[in-house]
Amino acid sequence: MSDDGWPQAAVDYVQAIADTKLLLGQRYGEWMLKGPNLEDDISGASNAQDEIGQVRQLFRLLQRQGVDEDWLESERDPEEYANAATLDAEAEAWPTFIVQAALTDRAAWLLLDAIDHDDFTGMVQKMGEDEYFHLEHHDGRLETLAEDQPEAVEAALERYVPQILAFVGPATYDAESDPLVGAGFTDRPAAEIRGAIHEHYVTLFEGTEVSVPALDDDVPDPESWDGTRRRVGDSHVDPDVVDQLQGVSNREYVIA
Partner 1 sequence: MKYHVFTRINAGDDLMHVGTVQADSDRLARIYAHRTYDEEDWEFIGVVHEDHLIEVDPQPIAGGRAQ
Q: How far is the CB of 135 from partner 1 (least distance, A)?
A: 10
For partner 1, which residue of 2, 4, 37, 254 counts as binding (CB under 8 A)? Answer: 37
207 interacts with partner 1 by CB under 8 A? no
Position among 3, 69, 79, 136 found at the interface with partner 1 (CB under 8 A): 136
Among 21, 27, 106, 141, binds partner 1 (CB under 8 A): 141
For residue 164, the minimal CB distance to partner 1 (Å) is 22
**From the CB of 89, what's the least distance to partner 1, in Å?**
26
Residue 175 within binding range of partner 1, rule CB under 8 A: no
Residue number with CB closer to partner 1 (116 or 139): 139
Alpha helices (H) in the chain, listed in sequence order: 8-31, 38-64, 69-73, 94-113, 123-148, 150-168, 179-182, 190-204, 239-245
Give whole-number Cα distances, 204 to 144, 146, 212, in Å: 11, 9, 10
Residues 29 and 50 sit within 8 Å (Cβ to Cβ): no
| Cβ at position 47, least distance to partner 1 in Å | 9
User: Looking at beta carbons only, is 54 or 163 nearer to partner 1?
Assistant: 54
The answer to whether 144 contacts partner 1 (rule: CB under 8 A) is yes
End-to-end CA distance of the chain: 38
- Phi and psi, residue 174, nearest 5°: -100, -170
Confirm or reject binding of residue 254 to partner 1 (CB under 8 A).
Answer: no
Q: Does 80 bind partner 1 (CB under 8 A)?
A: no
Q: What is the CA radius of gyration of the chain?
A: 18
C-alpha pair distances (Å), 132 with each of 47, 88, 114, 138, 255:
11, 24, 16, 10, 35
- The conformation of residue 36, written as its DSSP 8-state character, comes to S
Does position 3 bind partner 1 by CB under 8 A? Answer: no
| Dist CA 127 CA 150 (whole Å) | 31
Interface residue list for partner 1 (CB under 8 A):
37-40, 42-43, 46, 133, 136-137, 139-141, 143-144
